[in-house]
Amino acid sequence: MLLVLSIFLGACKSGPVLEAYLVDSFHQKPLSNFKVIVDEQEYTSDHQGSFVTPSLSKDSVKIVVPAQDRYEEFSDQLVLYQRRNVRKFLIDARHPLNLPHELSAEPYSYRVQIHSGKQGPQDRVLITLNAIPSEQSYEFSGSYTDEAGQKQNIHMIQIGFNFWFMDEWNNWQFTSTPPQSVPLWGMIIDPFIQAMHQFYQDRDYDYEVIADSTFIKQEELAEIQVKAPKNKELFEDMKLYMIKSGPNQGNIRKATVKLKDHPWLGTLVQLEFETLKQALLIAPPEITR
């Protein structure tokens, strides 16, 4: 009886236990084999991204997950309120150029030149696209080759699912039904824009900084090669040119995207950004007769 009482009192005096899970902040997928330091005691996360401490002597401990591979260092002073404390730690991806995330965020609006084709970047599409993706607002003008192999000139404004297009007599027309024969270039290009700003956060993509410094029109850029995972059909690989310094630091100036064979874009797309942080206005045109 005395032995049982001693064990019970010892258990009551034991300190709190921490059960923690490490996940990436983008997909919240488990991060396995990551080193974690809890008040100078080292642990390693398992295949589920988890680790469990023994009884701790304090109710407040410092947690450090050192930077490794593609991830930034994480640290926190953790207060343990319960006997067994379950926590999830979100680990942020490290920027390829070690810049703050906000410097390379997906732009609210942008103007981009689209060149694409079967064998080269300019034999199928030559479009200027103004886009405000969050508002589903796009304006595009230029030329493209249709399914019959005929070159078509286009100038269209899309706001939601309202469409204004310029007819062959240069008069604006309106329709609430997407024209079947006209590619909606904003909605086609948006996924590529999203991927080129999220690739380093998404663990499904592999990337490499292949040139730390290169110049285009006297602007210093880093050249980054991005490989798409096999389960994503958006593109095969993508080469990005990211601005290294100045007011547009972290933004992408140019991208070359290799495709399998897109029905409209072909196999090679070149995107050149004309505006990076300049706000654009896309409004319905005045319809005249």
Kindly report which listed range (5-19, 119-133, 228-242) carries the lowest average pLDDT score: 5-19
- pLDDT band at residue 198, thresholds of 50, 70 and 90? very high
> Do 2-91 and 101-275 show the same overall fold?
no
The reported pTM is: 0.86
User: Alpha carbon of 23 to those of 8, 89, 122: distances in Å?
Assistant: 36, 6, 43
Give the three-class secondary structure for 222.
strand
- pLDDT band at residue 272, thresholds of 50, 70 and 90? very high
- pLDDT band at residue 9, thresholds of 50, 70 and 90? very low
Question: Using CA atoms, how far apart are residues 250 and 273, in angstroms rounded to an integer?
Answer: 13
- pLDDT given for residue 6 in this prediction: 43
Asked if residues 80 and 57 have their Cβ atoms less than 8 Å apart, the reply is: no
Higher-pLDDT residue of 176, 233: 176
Q: Where are the domains of the chain?
A: 2-91, 101-275
Fold of the domain spanning 101-275: outer membrane lipoprotein receptor (LolB), chain A (2.50.20)
- pLDDT given for residue 102 in this prediction: 83
- pLDDT band at residue 289, thresholds of 50, 70 and 90? low
- pLDDT band at residue 12, thresholds of 50, 70 and 90? low
Please say if the pLDDT value at position 177 is more than 90.
no
Asked if residues 72 and 100 have their Cβ atoms less than 8 Å apart, the reply is: no
Kindly report which listed range (79-88, 136-145, 201-210, 227-236) carries the lowest average pLDDT score: 227-236
Fold of the domain spanning 2-91: Immunoglobulin-like (2.60.40)
Average pLDDT over residues 98-118: 88
User: Alpha carbon of 241 to those of 59, 159, 219, 222: distances in Å?
Assistant: 48, 30, 10, 6
- pLDDT given for residue 3 in this prediction: 43
Measured in degrees and rounded to the nearest 5, phi and psi for residue 173 equal: -125, 155
